[in-house]
Chain A
Amino acid sequence: MNAEEIQAIFFAECEESLAAAEAGLAACKAGTHDADTVNAVFRGVHSIKGGAGAFGYVALQAFTHTFETLLSDVRDETVAITEPLVDLLLRALDTLSDHVAAARGLGETPDDAALQAELTAAMAANAGAAPAAAPAAAAAPEPQPTATSSASDDDDFGIDFDSMMDSIAGELTGGDAASDDDKPVSKGWVLKVRPHTGAMRNGSEPLLMLREVLELGGRCVECDVGQVPPLDTLDPVTGYLGWTFVFPDDVSEASVRDVFDFVGDDCGLSFGEDAPMADVRLPAPATPASAPAAPAAAPIASTSTSAPAPTEAAPAPSGGAAPPAPPAPPVPGQSIRIELGKLDKLIDAVGELVIAQAMMAQRLAGDGLAVTEELAMLEGLTRDIQESAMAIRAQPIGSVFSRVPRILRELTASTGKHVRLDVSGESTELDKTVIERLGEPLTHLIRNAVDHGIESAEERLAAGKSAEGTLTLSAEHRSGRILIRIADDGRGINRERVLQKAIEKGLVAPDAQLSKEEIDLLIFAPGFSTAQQISNISGRGVGMDVVRQNVKDLGGRITIESEPGSGTTFTLTLPLTLAISDGMVVNVGDQTLVVPLANVVESLRPAPNEVQGLGSRRAMINVRGRFIPVVPLHEAVGALGAVEKAQDGVLIVVETEGAGRAALLVDAICDQRQVVIKSLDTHYRSVEGVAGATILGDGRVALIVDVDGLVSRSLSGMSLAEAA
């Protein structure tokens, strides 16, 4: 793995961290600022900072540092969460996002001086109330008496530490050169080391430190064995030994101290020939009454063979000074990262498995073995596998929604319109591919809603509305599809102007009589723009037709409901997945077709008196008191030799988005099974009324009916025929 690949991982991670922080701040803004939420924000920024430092993005690192420091104050509750603060944090997040983009080479490094000052001011404002770092450090439980020069607090970037390490590296080579016997021992300086019991806990090994001291160029001139007790009282984990080393002058004290950095004052260090060797710390009495240790510590301490027990009690008095461990952040479930390509391969294979299973079922049925228990088991398993595979690709739509607040903030900045955002159904899951391709059309619709839909504050007040506009985003599952609504409470579509514009542009004939809905749909026509002046926000009129195309490419549709004066709602209807769905296999004359189960409400065999003729060609069926138009499928697809009369065939009642319910007339229902959708567009071309094709169990290809399209076309065709 090279540096660039690691960098790519870092940037992918930045996106995730930004999204997590954004979600957390949005929750704060909505009033949820518990420890978990704040910690999630902190962790997002913190993680970016870590990588920024590692990759040398100085500006990004500096900014995240300031940002993180303030967040850490917020997390520690030394800075209170107020609305202005959350707004400040949100702005900081936007700038952070720009910083990340700049680091990626996707833009200019933002000028953050003013914002940095603001962030710092937010900290300073509370510094007097709760003096945070310095006094706490002073109160740290184990002050090292001689540690003044070297153990200075490294700054957070670890630059001092770096230089220290450099000096070690230098000393190491210097030490090698100086380690020969030609150096007079009397020259140089003296260190006396006595590792205490604590230097052996936590997996530390004093021997390694002594070795490192030797490597640095120190020479052991004396080992103090005077404190070793008689064998019967010797405690094997007490440090009775002390060593005196002599270093050449060119070895710095700091580099030697650094060797013992990890053990702190668990290792007694005395510098200078006259300094006394640290005393032996004898083990604490078996049951230290003074130590307010946890009750569990007592029995352990009494079994004297347990090594860490006595020291476990030692740091206990300082426990009060140390902040408690941060609460575990919300658990989003254990996860692993998988390359998308591998997943797609799996999905493909599952698709083939579904087909193979169907083919086998067909073959067995042909041999009279349809009711085989093992076959039913296999079918159940295949379905489980398919659902699990699909679930792997499913992601909550929240990842798309979470970008919206930023879009709105930018729009507020550029248009001056204040918009409140209502979001619901963020946890609705749908296929990753769909999610990925949803961002662009959604962004465009939102910009459009704010730019064209929502009025300026003055206009709104004049119309008796609140000055702040409202944008509502929602997502929900509806009969195997997902419905996404983008609603604003703005002025609605000005149909008069839309129509006028469309006529001007030659999109419709001047004398055309269009319904309200048809006029609304004109805004999706290529090259249409009603903005009186082209704004730099929702583009130059090339957007809405692209939006519709994007949605169509996803196998979805987009509809508009608009009420002048009270707002516009765009509804996107999208499939949950692009690969496999449940279908009803039907026979129509000489053709076999598949009706998506998502559309099917029920199927019935009508009695002759339930079907009523309407004119010469049209029929309605009375389903429990409700009249539903009958659509003969054979007419729509041009099948030959099909059942003509409803009472001779089977009616499948389907639900459509555009035309309500309809009853499809077919000859017979053969089967209900999973079908792997193969796009016609890629293999042939797009055909109206056909959603795609699939391979049946016997290897034949069957068309999948686009119920919505077919029914509305068929019904409107009928009404024209009737009118004629």
Chain B
Amino acid sequence: MSNNTRILTVDDSPSMRALLNHALTSQGFDVSQAEDGIAALDWLALNEVDVVITDINMPRLDGFGLIERLREGSRHRDRPILVLTTESSEEKKARAREAGATGWIVKPFDPQKLVAAVRRVAH
């Protein structure tokens, strides 16, 4: 079902982007990359995407800020957005959910886990 699911990964860490890219493309996803919230907004202004995966702590515009900006408009109001987090405490989850995230991926992730999370939210 997901062979052409388009994913935008947003992370300021090149190695994390590379890892995400590797894990997702090997499963047949279409992956694009942005290095922070602003770059993601720029990219999204011109491109279509099915799922956004974003880190939280990033320069310029962090993940929560990005989600807030995306949810403001109707175009991405119902877009599945997963946040990358290093903690999975209930507090953090509530926080992510409150910020508008659809779900989360706990770092470090294994590829299987990542793909399962994406499939869970991909329309």
Contact = CB atoms under 8 A, between A and B. Distances in A.
Interface of A: 1, 3, 5-7, 9-10, 12-13, 39, 42-43, 46-47, 49-51, 53-54, 133, 136-137, 140-144, 151, 153-154, 156-158, 161-162, 165, 168-169, 201-205, 208-209, 212, 259, 261-264, 266, 307-308, 315, 318-319, 322-323, 325-326, 328-332, 334-337
Nearest to A139: B91
A699 B35 CA distance: 46
Interface of B: 12-16, 18-19, 21-22, 35-36, 38-39, 57, 59-62, 64-65, 71, 77-81, 86-91, 93-95, 97-104, 106-110, 112-113, 116, 120-123
A329 B59 contact: yes
Contacts of A266: 97
B100 A6 contact: no
Contact of A43 (B22, B57, B106): B57
A50 B81 contact: no
Interface-centre pick from B65, B103, B106 (highest chain A CB count, 10 A): B106
A335 B36 CA distance: 10
B102 A202 contact: yes
Nearest to A11: B15
Contacts of B60: 328, 331, 334
Nearest to A264: B97
Nearest to A14: B15
Contact of B13 (A13, A169, A336): A13
A261 B105 CA distance: 11
Given A202-B81, A307-B77, A334-B38, A47 B110 contact: no
Interface of A is mostly: helix
Contacts of A263: 97
A156 B108 CA distance: 9
Nearest to A335: B35
Nearest to A68: B86
Contacts of B81: 202-203
Nearest to A336: B35
Contacts of B120: 208-209, 212, 259, 262
Nearest to B122: A208
Contacts of B61: 328
A332 B108 contact: no
A308 B108 contact: no
Contacts of A337: 14
A315 B98 contact: yes
18 contacts: A12-B14, A13-B13, A53-B86, A133-B89, A137-B89, A143-B90, A154-B89, A165-B113, A202-B81, A204-B102, A208-B123, A261-B93, A264-B93, A315-B94, A325-B62, A328-B61, A331-B59, A334-B36
B75 to A, nearest CB: 12
B106 A264 contact: no
Contacts of B109: 54, 158
A319 B71 CA distance: 18
Q: Give the 8 A-B CB pairs with smallest separation, nearest first.
A: A53-B108, A262-B103, A10-B15, A158-B106, A154-B88, A54-B108, A6-B18, A203-B80
Contact of A156 (B12, B87, B98): B87
A50 B108 contact: yes
A143 B91 CA distance: 10
A165 B88 CA distance: 14
A154 B108 CA distance: 12
B59 to A, nearest CB: 5
Interface-centre pick from A168, A319, A334 (highest chain B CB count, 10 A): A334
Contacts of A162: 110, 113
Contact of B21 (A1, A205, A259): A1
B90 A51 contact: no
Contacts of A336: 35
